[in-house]
Amino acid sequence: MRVLGVDPGLRNMGWGVIESRGSHLRHIANGTCKTDAKDTLAARLLSLHAQLTDVIAAYEPDTAAVEQTFVNKDGAATLKLGQARGVALLVPAQAGLAIGEYSPNAIKKTVVGVGHADKGQVQAMVRVQLPGVTFDSPDAADALAIAICHSFHAQSSGRLEAAMRAAQ
């Protein structure tokens, strides 16, 4: 299974693609979709859409995962992040992909084992699970963590469904 993880952001939208075969994970690629803060909001969202569409076309993921938005004190920034997250959900949906959504704490708990891990701990564990990986940016590292989280949850869900079918 090829998984696309997306860390939404208006200035920098991280993405990472991994391949999952059983419990074995392999890094495929990672990068950052960037926009110019001087452009209009509409132009920035369009740019993110085009860049993420190109990523999906190039790496052909089977599924995608996107980090859920957290609400901070700056309402305007939260709204802009929400709009970028809309693009992060729209593009995989347009490609016909099933999309998982995970809170930042769920991602950290899955990848590190602690829901309040810092970015350095997350990056260290991503390096352990994807040996030899180099990150395009901190946002791309987060996107790989999101992909890893989705891979583990998809495996667990598949095992649960198989057990339920066997029990019937």
In the set 74, 136, 139, 161, the catalytic residue is: 139
How far apart CA 42 and CA 50 sit, in angstroms, is 12
In the set 7, 60, 101, 118, the catalytic residue is: 7
Helix (H) or strand (E) holding 27: strand 24-34
How far apart CA 151 and CA 116 sit, in angstroms, is 20
Whether 161 sits among the annotated catalytic residues: the reply is no
7 is in an annotated binding site: yes
In the set 39, 60, 62, 67, the catalytic residue is: 67
60 is in an annotated binding site: no
Whether 67 sits among the annotated catalytic residues: the reply is yes
- Helices 75-94 and 41-59, axial angle in degrees (round to 10): 40
Whether 7 sits among the annotated catalytic residues: the reply is yes
How far apart CA 123 and CA 93 sit, in angstroms, is 28
Phi and psi at 31, nearest 5°, equal -170, -170
CA dist 148 → 2, 103, 125, 126, 153 (Å): 11, 13, 10, 8, 9
Show which residues are catalytic.
7, 67, 139
The annotated binding site is made up of 7, 67, 139
Known binding-site residues for Mg(2+) equal 7, 67, 139
